[in-house]
């Protein structure tokens, strides 16, 4: 009846006794139901329901070597981007009868390794990595183990991944600022070991280089993917003279940090310095000065990522996916609407 109200859950053997059959019969009846008389299946299932039977995953996992768990590694769940991707992952996993097991790695290799080991100890049936590095020594190990895995958000050469087309996204941002006439621009470039930051920056610089206005290295600053990182990077970039007239941040939270740094410097967002972010998180549109941002389908990235993982685990051939980003122009780059 009510599965949460029982003290000691019934076991297979108890169900078997109550139904007057052998435990193996119960196991089969509750499973595919093949090789068992239809009437028996119905009866056993009724008894199991009656007793509120819930299989013990530990016992099941011990015997079958499958845990029903999918491990997920992310840099931080406090990063809304990853949290949103995770929700997409979890939704599809739940539909397929899997549970997700998530862990923060803080983008620290040593922590990553430890957290992954913990997931492997739990005998997860697959792994989703949201914190892949461009030169990632963990990925070959996972591959060598034969464990199904997929990367989301970030990619790494030679590994299955679901990402957005970050080169294109960066280019969109660059072309937008070019069209607005910005000739001296700066980039808050994120972490140098993550494909997202690197490729978004690359696409942006490509656009400027193609226009004959290459962005010099000193106008590109790396940092963590949070408000603080954006603020710190922008403070340095804004100290240059002449000052850049626009800043592209490869992450919306970085962009908000940039806004804070602008304010601190007595500059107005959009009017004195244009700001463009990336991901178009839900609050970008609601800020006192709405943020221009490259929208990336985060939820879909999660859903597609888990779908690919499950397909791969089922032995189907799968290829990496690059989802298409789109530019959303708002007042932080275009205060007068154009």
Partner DNA sequence: GGGTCCCTCGAAATCGATTGCGAAACTCGT
Partner DNA sequence: ACGAGTTTCGCAATCGATTTCGAGGGACCC
Site for DNA, rule CB under 7 A: 11-13, 20-25, 27-28, 30-31, 35-40, 53, 55-56, 59-60, 62-64
CB 202, min distance to its own copies, A: 27
Strand 292-295 with 326-328, pairing: antiparallel
Query: What does the alpha-carbon distance between residue 182 and residue 217 come to, in Å, rounded to a whole number?
Result: 17
For residue 35, give every residue at least 6 positions away whose Cβ sits within 8 Å of its Cβ, in sequence order, or none: 28
How far is the CA of 106 from the CAs of 103, 115, 197, 208, in angstroms? 9, 11, 16, 32
Looking at the Cβ atoms of 39 and 266, the one nearer to DNA is 39
Q: Which is nearer to DNA, 6 or 271 (CB)?
A: 6
Other Cβ atoms less than 10 A from the Cβ of 32: the count is: 9
For DNA, the closer CB: 32 or 317? 32
Are the beta carbons of 94 and 149 closer than 8 angstroms?
A: no
23 or 57, CB closer to its own copies?
57
For every residue of 155-209, DSSP letters joined together read --TTS-EEEE-HHHHHHHHHHHHHHTT--SEEEE---TTSHHHHHHHHHHHHHHH
Contacts of 245 (CB under 8 A, 6+ apart): 182, 183, 184, 185, 273, 274
6 DSSP assignment: -
- Closer residue to its own copies in complex, CB, 187/234: 234
Q: With CB cut-offs between 5 and 8 Å by kind, which of DNA, its own copies, none does residue 12 bind?
A: DNA
Question: Residue 18's binding partner, choosing from its own copies, DNA, none, with beta-carbon cut-off 5 to 8 A by kind?
Answer: none
CB of 51 vs its own copies, minimal distance in Å: 15
* Residue 40 binding result from DNA, its own copies, none, given CB thresholds of 5 to 8 Å by partner type: DNA
- In this complex, which beta carbon is closest to its own copies, that of residue 206 or of residue 299? 299
Binding partner of residue 96 among DNA, its own copies, none, CB cut-off 5 to 8 Å per kind: none
Residues at the interface with its own copies (CB under 8 A): 2-7, 54-59, 61-62, 67, 76-78, 80, 83-84, 86-87, 90, 99, 101-104, 113, 116-118, 120-123, 138, 141-142, 144-146, 226-228, 230-231, 253, 256-257, 259-260, 263, 269, 282-283, 285-290
* Preceding peptide of 151 cis, ω within 30°: no
Enter the tokens of residue 68.
Answer: 């029903």
Least Cβ distance, residue 43 to DNA (angstroms): 9
To DNA, the closest distance from the beta carbon of 65 in angstroms equals 7
Please report how close the Cβ of residue 128 comes to DNA at its closest, in angstroms.
24
Considering CB distances under 5 to 8 angstroms, the limit depending on partner class, which of its own copies, DNA, none binds residue 84? its own copies
Q: Which is nearer to DNA, 69 or 258 (CB)?
A: 69
Closest contact distance (angstroms) between CB of 316 and DNA is: 21
Q: Which does 287 bind (CB under 5 to 8 A by kind): DNA, its own copies, none?
A: its own copies
Q: Of 233, 283, 239, nearest to 258 (Cα)?
A: 233
Give which of its own copies, DNA, none residue 154 binds (C-beta under 5 to 8 Å, depending on kind): none
User: Least separation, in Å, of the C-beta of 259 and DNA?
Assistant: 52
Please name which of 333, 11, 12, 7 lies closest in space to residue 174, comparing C-alpha atoms.
Answer: 333
Sheet holding 326-328, edge to edge: 220-221, 185-188, 246-249, 274-279, 292-295, 326-328
CA 95, CA 70: separation in Å to the nearest integer? 13
Residue 77 interacts with which of DNA, its own copies, none, CB < 5 to 8 Å by class? its own copies
Nearest partner of 138 among 112, 120, 158, 160, judged by Cα: 112
């Amino acid at each position: 009846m009510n599965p949460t109200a029982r003290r000691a859950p019934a076991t297979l053997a108890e169900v078997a006794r109550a139904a007057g059959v052998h435990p193996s019969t119960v196991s089969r009846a509750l499973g595919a139901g093949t090789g068992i008389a239809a009437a028996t299946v119905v009866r056993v299932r009724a008894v199991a329901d009656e007793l509120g039977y819930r299989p013990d995953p530990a016992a099941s996992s011990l015997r079958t070597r499958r845990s029903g768990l999918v491990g997920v590694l992310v840099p931080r769940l406090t990063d809304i981007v990853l949290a949103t991707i995770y929700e997409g992952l979890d939704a599809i996993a739940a539909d397929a009868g899997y549970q997700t097991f998530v862990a923060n790695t803080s983008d620290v290799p040593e922590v990553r390794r430890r957290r992954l080991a913990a997931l492997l100890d739990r005998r997860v049936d697959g792994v989703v990595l949201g914190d892949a590095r461009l030169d990632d020594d963990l990925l070959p190990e996972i591959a060598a183990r034969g464990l199904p895995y997929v990367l989301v958000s970030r990619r790494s050469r030679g590994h299955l991944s679901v990402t957005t087309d970050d080169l294109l996204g960066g280019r969109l941002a660059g072309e937008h600022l070019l069209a607005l006439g910005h000739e001296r621009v700066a980039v808050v470039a994120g972490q140098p070991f993550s494909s997202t930051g690197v490729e978004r920056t690359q696409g942006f610089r490509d656009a400027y280089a193609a226009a004959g206005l290459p962005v010099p290295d000193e106008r590109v600053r790396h940092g963590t993917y949070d408000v603080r990182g954006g603020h710190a990077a922008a403070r340095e970039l804004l100290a240059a003279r002449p000052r850049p007239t626009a800043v592209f941040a490869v992450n919306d939270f970085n962009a908000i940090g940039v806004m804070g740094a602008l304010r601190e410097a007595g500059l107005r967002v959009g009017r004195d310095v244009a700001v463009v972010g990336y991901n178009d998180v839900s609050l970008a549109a609601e800020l006192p000065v709405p943020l221009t941002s490259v929208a990336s389908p985060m939820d879909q990235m999660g859903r597609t990522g888990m779908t690919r993982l499950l397909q791969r685990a089922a032995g189907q051939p799968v290829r990496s996916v690059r989802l298409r980003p789109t530019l959303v122009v708002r007042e932080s780059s275009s205060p007068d609407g154009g």
